[in-house]
Amino acid sequence: MSFLDMHCHVLPRIDDGAKDLDTARELLRLQQSQGASAVVATPHFYAERVDLNAYRQKAISRFEQLQEVAVNEGLPELFLGFEVLFFRDMAASGVLPELSMGKSHFLLVELPYGCALTDAIADELIAIRLDCGLTPILAHLERYASQQGFDRILSVIREGYAEAQCNAASLLHWNSRRVGLKLLEQGYLRYLASDAHSLVHRPPKLEEAYAVIEKRCGKRVVNRLQENSLALYAALRQAQTPIQSN
Ligand SMILES: [Fe+2]
């Protein structure tokens, strides 16, 4: 089964991801060789460091450049999104629709690392869902498991206000594998993604991660993750389609 890789830093020369167009092309080739038929490019967005319009224009320009290569060379279908680092009052900021994945109602959100996950953060995620009509997808949820307040974040997912994604690399290291597999078995992780940054530092390892999941959780869980990614793909495709008037 093919699948969508919904989180990676494949766009060239915009964040700490692909350093040039050749690297971006090679990353797409690797993702394709591991089974990805489509990819969401998700450069980091730090609200306090960049100007939204300028950054978004830069991302669109890089995206169009890479998309042309992908189409010409038969590489995975590309969508543009952003990995949005949590910021205060983000739901009320008015900018989130500009940062959603491929104009859909899904928003990739990176929680703050190394600090308490406060009730205010959980409430903000709920506000994104209820007030903005966007579904937050929490990037690499497994990374936050030891942080204070993690249980409250899990309750936000259980209650249907957010979804979550696991990094492939997390399942390949002994120190993060256990928590990743536990969250997967408990049903908190809806997507697996590469979060690839380069050919050397955090390359895409989707095939290896799916093999670990199959061995530890069974083929059924692999199928579920890939089907979830394809449902997201369908939503992205639908969001690209102009609405027809009767
Ligand atoms: Fe990322």
For the chain, what is the mean pLDDT? 96
Helices 174-185 and 206-217 pack at an angle, to 10 degrees, of 60
Per-residue pLDDT tens digits for 172-210: 998 899 999 999 999 999 999 999 999 998 899 999 999
pLDDT category at 244 given cuts 50, 70, 90 is: low
Centre of ligand 1 from the C-alpha of residue 246, in Å = 41
Centre of ligand 1 from the C-alpha of residue 224, in Å = 22
Per-residue pLDDT tens digits for 15-50: 999 999 999 999 999 999 999 999 999 999 999 999
Per-residue pLDDT tens digits for 45-69: 999 999 999 999 999 999 999 999 9
pLDDT category at 96 given cuts 50, 70, 90 is: very high
Centre of ligand 1 from the C-alpha of residue 231, in Å = 21
- Dihedral of CA atoms 51, 105, 41, 205 in degrees, nearest 10, equals 130
Q: What confidence score (pLDDT) does residue 201 get? A: 83
Per-residue pLDDT tens digits for 106-132: 999 999 999 999 999 999 999 999 999
Q: What confidence score (pLDDT) does residue 204 get? A: 96
Centre of ligand 1 from the C-alpha of residue 84, in Å = 9
Closest by CA to 38, choosing from 65, 13, 74, is: 74
Centre of ligand 1 from the C-alpha of residue 82, in Å = 9
| 41/127 Cα distance (integer angstroms) | 25
Q: What confidence score (pLDDT) does residue 243 get? A: 59
Q: What confidence score (pLDDT) does residue 62 get? A: 97
Segments making up each domain of the chain, as ranges: 3-240
Centre of ligand 1 from the C-alpha of residue 245, in Å = 38
The pair of structure tokens assigned to 108 is 């990739």
Q: What confidence score (pLDDT) does residue 105 get? A: 98
The pair of structure tokens assigned to 174 is 């002994």
Domain 3-240 belongs in CATH node 3.20.20.80: no
Q: What confidence score (pLDDT) does residue 223 get? A: 97
| 35/28 Cα distance (integer angstroms) | 11
Centre of ligand 1 from the C-alpha of residue 243, in Å = 31
Centre of ligand 1 from the C-alpha of residue 86, in Å = 13
- Mean of pLDDT values over 156-163: 98
pLDDT category at 241 given cuts 50, 70, 90 is: confident
pLDDT at 246 over 80: no
Centre of ligand 1 from the C-alpha of residue 195, in Å = 5
Task: Extract the runs of DSSP E, i.e. beta strands, from the chain.
Answer: 3-8, 36-41, 44-45, 77-80, 83-85, 106-110, 135-138, 163-167, 191-193
